[in-house]
């Protein structure tokens, strides 16, 4: 899979951990940084990875900040991007099955590396169920006219 990663200073350590994990699995990873604890503004980095999903350059985006929240809010401003915050394996699974999420944000200050890896696996491997969820996801896309 083509996966774009981006982090701010609150998420870069977890992002680096996940980059190593994904590269070990043979994914094609683009890492937009950051690479240090120097303070930056998360929308500047969310835009790079979410932009790749919006343009089709990436299949998925993984975003990392302190809480995951700012990255998800920012990514959801991009057409075609459906970003969820990864808070538990069950909810990550549902974000794929019901919402066809194509971006996931994780909170580097709240998520242990092993838990993050488990949620990343579920995010990448769980299929969208379609069916009754299809028209709801189409209705999300229709809301983009309000942006």
Catalytic residues: 65, 98
Q: How far is the CB of 1 from ligand RB5 (least distance, A)?
A: 25
Q: Which residues contact 54 (CB under 8 A, 6 or more apart)?
A: 78, 79, 80, 81
Q: How far is the CB of 55 from ligand RB5 (least distance, A)?
A: 24
- Helical residues (DSSP H) of the chain, grouped into ranges: 12-24, 42-55, 69-75, 89-97, 113-125, 132-143
Q: How far is the CB of 132 from ligand RB5 (least distance, A)?
A: 32
Residue 54 vs 85, nearer CB to ligand RB5: 85
Residue 74 vs 124, nearer CB to ligand RB5: 74
Phi, psi angle pair for 46, to nearest 5°? -55, -40
Q: Which residue is nearest to ligand RB5 (CB)?
A: 70
Query: Quick one: tokens of 56?
Result: 């089709």
By CB under 6 A, name the binding residues for ligand RB5: 8, 10, 42, 65-67, 69-70
């Amino acid at each position: 899979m083509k996966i774009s990663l981006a982090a701010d200073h609150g998420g870069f350590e977890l992002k680096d951990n996940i980059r190593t994990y994904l590269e070990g699995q043979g994914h094609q990873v683009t890492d937009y940084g950051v690479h240090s604890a120097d303070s930056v503004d998360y929308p500047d980095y969310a835009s790079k990875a979410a932009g790749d999903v919006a343009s089709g350059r990436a299949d998925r985006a993984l975003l990392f900040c302190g809480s995951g929240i700012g990255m998800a809010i920012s990514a959801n401003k991009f057409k075609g991007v459906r970003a969820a915050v990864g808070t538990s394996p069950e909810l990550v699974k549902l974000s794929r099955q019901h919402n066809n999420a194509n971006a996931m944000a994780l909170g580097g200050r709240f998520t242990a590396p092993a838990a993050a890896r488990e949620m990343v696996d579920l995010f990448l491997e769980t299929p969208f169920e379609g069916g009754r969820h299809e028209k709801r996801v189409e209705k999300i896309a229709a809301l983009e006219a309000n942006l």
